[in-house]
Amino acid sequence: MVIPELRPTERVMQISGADLHYWTYHEDREGAEARSAAVETDTVVMVHGLRGTHHGLELIAAGLPDHRVVVPDLPGFGDSGPMTGRRHDVAGYAHVVTALIERLGGRERPVVLLGHSFGSIVAARVAATRPELLRKLVLVNPIATPALRGPRVLLSGLTSAYYALGKRLPPRAGQSLLSNRLVVLAASRAMTRTKDKQLREFIDANHLRHFSRFHSPALVSETFEASTTHTVADHADDIRTPTLLIAGESDEIAPLAGQRELAARMSDAQLVVIPDVGHLVHYETPAEASAAVRRFLGAA
């Protein structure tokens, strides 16, 4: 596996009391200004999933070299501080993403919004409430089935108990429990489908490096609760933005049957199913996902 070298520009903005760190890809690439002036390229804003950071979406960003790609660390994760006065839930994060899009000029020139997993729920809320800011919407491994009613209901229940315990413990003990190396590795390997040893090691290393970069057990527990009580389907009837759904054929967290139902329910949606991959499309098949996004953005 060849990992592309990316040198994004880091920026920080204040929103809801948080220092929101975000990274811009391809904007300063040599020769960028030489692109055809007749072709207006999109700004693509990407929203990572639960316990993720901007790093998880870099492989998809690498596959969109002709677009400016902006990826924040959501408040309370990675380098971004927590919000004050807002909950770390779908509505709170949608508020932050909306403010970022406006800062990027979305009122004058709508952007493409991409969300992965929990980020797909946040992106769907933005699309439903502020459609004028978006030209197109891309949802990768979108959450269409409630976690506590899906095929892994028992595991979801155990995970809920795990986060609840982490929140109840003293902060240091809770942080240690939720960051436990063996638990993180077990979660990583449960989601991974590839047989490529090098890729599996890459995925494990990234989860170990970034999966526990959250502000506090209380914050990650609050976000986890939001991820299990909301889905993209909450907003499906209100989304009119042209939408691309990218699903993993063997995704147990976001089962394919739910993706088909979601696509049929939305007014202007198309579904791309990537075979032999589960919930880690952004790690295991980023080239296929990026190619699907490029085709979608190139469509009229």
Residue 95's domain spans which residues?
A: 9-32+39-152+231-298
Confirm whether 74 is domain-assigned. yes
Query: What's the chain's average pLDDT?
Result: 91
Distance CA 295, CA 287 (A): 12
Domain annotation covers residue 267: yes
Would you state the pLDDT for residue 34?
39
How far is residue 90's CA from residue 135's CA, in Å, rounded to a whole number?
21
Domain total for the chain? 1
pLDDT tens by residue, 265-294: 999 999 999 999 999 999 999 999 999 999
pTM of the entire predicted model = 0.93
Q: Where are the alpha helices (DSSP H) in 1-89?
A: 58-62
Asked, for residue 69, whether it belongs to a domain, the answer is: yes
Residue 19 is part of a domain; what is its CATH number? 3.40.50.1820
15 assigned to some structural domain: yes
> Could you tell me if residue 251 is inside a domain?
yes
Residue 183 lies in a domain: no
Position 188 in a domain: no
Question: Tell me: the pLDDT tens digits for 220-245?
Answer: 999 999 999 999 999 999 999 999 99
Residues 6+ apart with CB under 8 A from 31: none
- In this prediction, residues 137-152 reach a mean pLDDT of 81
Position 175 in a domain: no
